[in-house]
């Protein structure tokens, strides 16, 4: 039994459902007691809340992505569309969070930045699991968690699992489109970089929409997700530039230069290339 499930059961048994309150159901004592500032600077509260809200939304994104991968692999594309549409809407929420964070000025941030030590969003394991679920497998990220076996195990599992794009490629193949067989059983720990048979298959789908309506819809849902993820990355990079300029990051990277470089990575390359082919 998963931890979440056992906790829910315990709640029902001990509280008798009718007596359970709003705060108990949502564990608000715990949730609202977790904004612990390291400085007494007013704006540190904003910094903490934005991160916590983003991590909560990431939790839901992962929940939806994992289930949609299972649905695609099981041939139930309609359920996957519903969940992927939800992922896109969540992404718009976390993109808008940058508008709130942009109210933090460099002069304000610098007053509590030192307190953050070497902590950095670089260490967000949920963000990495999202990247893994979308097929961007960066092995150096696993190293960060070597000293935490529980998290390392979870990340390793996500690292080895087929991504949503692997599931989509399998769906292309199952629909009778000619896909390089080596791709279907490939080493999923490798970041996917593109394949001619996949590009030809997507081109076929886009040219024969009425025949491949489901695959066409799947493609467009994936484009939505990559589009929004790139917009999130871009807003992060620009917000960082306006707050810390070109200072090096607390995580040890070059900062803005590094965040710009990450923007080069494409998750579903053929879905972008196909647009040129049509």
Ligand X SMILES: N[C@@H](CC(=O)c1ccccc1NC=O)C(=O)O
Feature table: binding site: 47-51, 109, 113, 236, 250
Question: Which of 121, 180, 188, 273 touches ligand X (CB under 6 A)?
Answer: 121
**Binding-site positions for heme:** 236
163 binds, options ligand HEM, ligand X, none, Cβ within 5 to 8 A by partner type: none
- Residue 44 neighbours by CB under 8 Å, 6+ apart: 37, 38, 112, 115
16-24's contacts with Cβ under 8 Å and 24+ in sequence apart are none
Asked if 194 touches ligand HEM (CB under 6 A), the answer is no
- The answer to whether 91 and 232 are in contact (CB under 8 A) is yes
Q: Which entry of ligand X, ligand HEM, none binds 101, CB below 5 to 8 A by partner kind?
A: ligand HEM
Residues 6+ apart with CB under 8 A from 41: 108, 111, 112
Q: Which of 86, 231, 238, 251 binds ligand HEM (CB under 6 A)?
A: 251
Round to whole Å and give the CA distance between 32 and 22.
Answer: 13
Q: Residues 10-39: x/- map of binding to ligand X (CB under 6 A)? A: ------------------------------
CB of 109 vs ligand HEM, minimal distance in Å: 5
Q: Pattern of binders to ligand HEM over 92-131, x per CB under 6 A?
A: ---------x--x----x----------xxx-x--x----
* Residues 94, 99, 104: CA angle, nearest 5 degrees: 115
DSSP state of 116: G
Binding ligand X (rule: CB under 6 A), the pick from 151, 183, 244, 262 is 244
- Per the annotation, binding residues for substrate are 47-51, 109, 113, 250
Closest CA to 225 of 96, 131, 113, 121: 131
Q: How far apart are CA 131 and CA 88, in angstroms?
A: 15
Residue 70 C-beta-side C-alpha neighbours within 13 Å: 7
User: Between 6 and 102, whose beta carbon lies closer to ligand X?
Assistant: 102
Q: What are phi and psi of 268, to 5 degrees?
A: -120, 70
Instruction: Please give the residue ranges that form the binding site for ligand HEM (CB under 6 A).
Output: 50-51, 54, 101, 104, 109, 120-122, 124, 127, 236, 240, 243-244, 249-253, 255, 258-259, 262
Instruction: Please give the residue ranges that form the binding site for ligand X (CB under 6 A).
Output: 51, 113, 116, 119-121, 244, 249-251
């Amino acid at each position: 039994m998963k931890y979440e499930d056992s906790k829910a059961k315990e709640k029902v048994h001990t509280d008798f459902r009718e007596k359970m309150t709003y705060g108990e159901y949502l564990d608000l004592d715990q949730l609202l007691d977790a904004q612990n500032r390291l400085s007494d600077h007013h704006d540190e509260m904003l910094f903490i809340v934005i991160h916590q809200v983003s991590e909560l939304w990431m939790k839901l994104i992962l929940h939806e992505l994992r289930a949609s991968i299972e649905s695609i692999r099981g041939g139930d594309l309609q359920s996957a569309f519903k969940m992927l549409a939800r992922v896109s809407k969540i992404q718009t929420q976390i993109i808008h969070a940058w508008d709130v964070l942009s109210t933090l000025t460099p002069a304000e941030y610098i007053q509590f930045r030192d307190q953050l030590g070497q902590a950095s969003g670089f260490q967000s394991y949920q963000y990495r699991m999202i990247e893994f679920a979308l097929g961007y497998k960066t092995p150096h990220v696993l190293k960060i968690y070597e000293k935490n076996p529980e998290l390392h195990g979870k990340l390793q599992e996500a690292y080895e699992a087929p991504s949503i794009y692997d599931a989509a490629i399998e769906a292309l193949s199952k629909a009778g489109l000619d896909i390089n067989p080596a791709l279907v059983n490939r080493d999923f720990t490798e970041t996917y970089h593109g394949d001619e048979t996949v590009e030809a298959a997507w081109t076929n789908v886009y040219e024969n929409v009425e025949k491949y309506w489901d695959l066409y819809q799947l493609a467009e849902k994936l484009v939505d997700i990559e589009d929004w993820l790139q917009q999130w990355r871009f807003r992060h990079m620009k917000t960082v530039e306006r707050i810390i300029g070109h200072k090096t990051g607390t995580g040890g990277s070059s900062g803005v230069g590094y965040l710009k470089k990450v923007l080069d990575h494409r998750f579903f390359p053929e879905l972008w290339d196909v647009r040129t082919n049509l």
